[in-house]
């Protein structure tokens, strides 16, 4: 077990990352700064239970490609870590299991912040044993255009009644677990992995949407064509 020490704060950003894009990196940078985190771990899912295939009908790209793109994307920052934890797991990978494993790896003294876009958060009530999740880590919910923050507040009130908001309604804390939901507003970064896959298929440029090293990798490997 690797203990990061008392008071350290680590953000966990899970996703499919097919491919990683500037929106993911903006989320990580925003939360790192806003909550003064010590690091953000990117955790690609091997076979996400909610995405047996993409909604655009495509198969999910091999884990090895998705992790290679992540490694290239985070390379400039020592504060970003790419975790291959999910590769070693038997599919499917559920967040509850991932957080439990990470808690063991990271140790009990480190504060964990599970980072999630509000679009994904609004589906949390379909996740395995979702009611146990906020007891294991703080939840940081990022705004995304088209998803009103009130929807996230409604969901917290309905499904997690032990959590009460402070004056700004941005932080919802639970006295017994000592954990919180933190609703963060972020300037929208209008990019999604779906849009990137579509652009590559249509022969359109993606250089504004992903780091240069990721665009190069996609070209070299002939992904998404």
Which residues form the interface with ligand ATP (CB under 6 A)?
A: 15-18, 23-24, 27, 54, 116-117, 119-120, 142, 144, 189, 191-194
User: Which of 106, 118 has the CB closer to ligand ATP?
Assistant: 118
| Smallest separation, CB 16 to ligand ATP (Å) | 4
DSSP bridge partners of 114: 12, 139
Which residues in the chain belong to E strands, given as ranges? 9-15, 39-44, 80-82, 111-117, 138-142, 164-165, 171-173, 180-184
| Smallest separation, CB 44 to ligand ATP (Å) | 8
User: Which of 51, 165 has the CB closer to ligand ATP?
Assistant: 51
| Smallest separation, CB 217 to ligand ATP (Å) | 16
User: Which of 44, 111 has the CB closer to ligand ATP?
Assistant: 44
Which residue has its beta carbon closest to ligand ATP? Answer: 117
- Provide the 3-class DSSP secondary structure of residue 88: helix
| Smallest separation, CB 143 to ligand ATP (Å) | 8
User: Which residues, including other chains, have CB under 8 Å from residue 13's CB and lie 6 or more apart?
Assistant: 24, 27, 28, 31, 40, 41, 42, 43, 115
Containing H/E element for 56? none
User: Which of 111, 117 has the CB closer to ligand ATP?
Assistant: 117
**Vertex 97 angle, CA 81 and 116, to 5°:** 55
């Amino acid at each position: 077990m690797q203990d990061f020490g008392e008071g350290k704060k680590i953000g966990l950003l899970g996703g499919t990352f097919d491919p990683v894009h500037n929106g993911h990196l903006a989320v990580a940078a925003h939360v790192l700064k806003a909550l003064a985190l010590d690091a953000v771990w990117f955790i690609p899912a091997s076979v996400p239970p909610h995405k047996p295939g993409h909604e655009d009908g495509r198969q999910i790209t091999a884990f090895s490609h998705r992790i290679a793109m992540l490694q290239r994307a985070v390379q400039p920052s020592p504060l970003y870590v790419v975790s291959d934890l999910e590769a070693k797991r038997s599919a499917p990978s559920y967040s509850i299991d991932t957080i439990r494993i990470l808690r063991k790896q990271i140790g009990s003294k480190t504060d964990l912040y599970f980072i999630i876009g509000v679009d994904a958060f609004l589906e949390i009530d379909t996740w395995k044993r979702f009611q146990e999740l906020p007891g294991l880590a703080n939840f940081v919910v990022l705004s995304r255009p088209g998803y009103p923050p009130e929807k996230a507040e409604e969901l917290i009130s309905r499904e997690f009644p032990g959590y009460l908001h402070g004056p700004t309604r941005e932080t919802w804390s639970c006295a017994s677990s000592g954990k919180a939901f933190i609703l963060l507003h972020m300037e929208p970064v209008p990019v999604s992995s779906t849009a990137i896959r579509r652009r590559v298929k249509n022969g359109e440029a993606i250089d504004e949407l992903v780091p240069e090293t990721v665009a190069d990798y996609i070209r070299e490997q002939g992904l998404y064509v």
